[in-house]
Amino acid sequence: MFTYPVLFGIAMAIIDVFVLSLLKMKHSGQIIGTWVFLVAFLVYGSQTFIFYKSLSYSSLVNMNMLWDITSDIAVALMAVYFFKESLTQSQMFGLVLGMIAIYLLR
């Protein structure tokens, strides 16, 4: 089921989840200090190397779509479970369609 491109997409999505969680916690006041922006900048910078390496296994279009969709699903699940945000039925349907898209792109 998991191919190298999907694994690269998951790796980059994990970075998105980490950084976006930090930014959400900073925005909500759970984290104090501007160090969050430096960490976000450095961690996001590492994605360029991961994405570059992923191009050895798939095309630019495919890798970008896998990264984007995997990140969208991972960040949405993190927001629902960790930050107690809610999704509408159409948003949940969109996540299911995203999962189908990942299956088709792999």
Residue-wise pLDDT for 32-78, tens only, equals 999 999 999 999 999 999 999 999 999 999 999 999 999 999 999 99
Q: Nearest 5°: CA angle at 44, between 84 and 19?
A: 15
Kindly give, in sequence order, each residue whose CB lies less than 8 Å from that of residue 50, ignoring residues fewer than 6 positions away.
8, 11, 12, 15
Task: Tell me the pLDDT tens digit for each residue of 67-87.
Answer: 999 999 999 999 999 999 999
pLDDT surpasses 90 at 105: no
| pTM of the predicted model as reported, rounded to 2 decimal places | 0.89
pLDDT, average across residues 2-29:
94
- Give the residue ranges of DSSP H helices in the chain: 4-27, 35-54, 60-81, 89-105
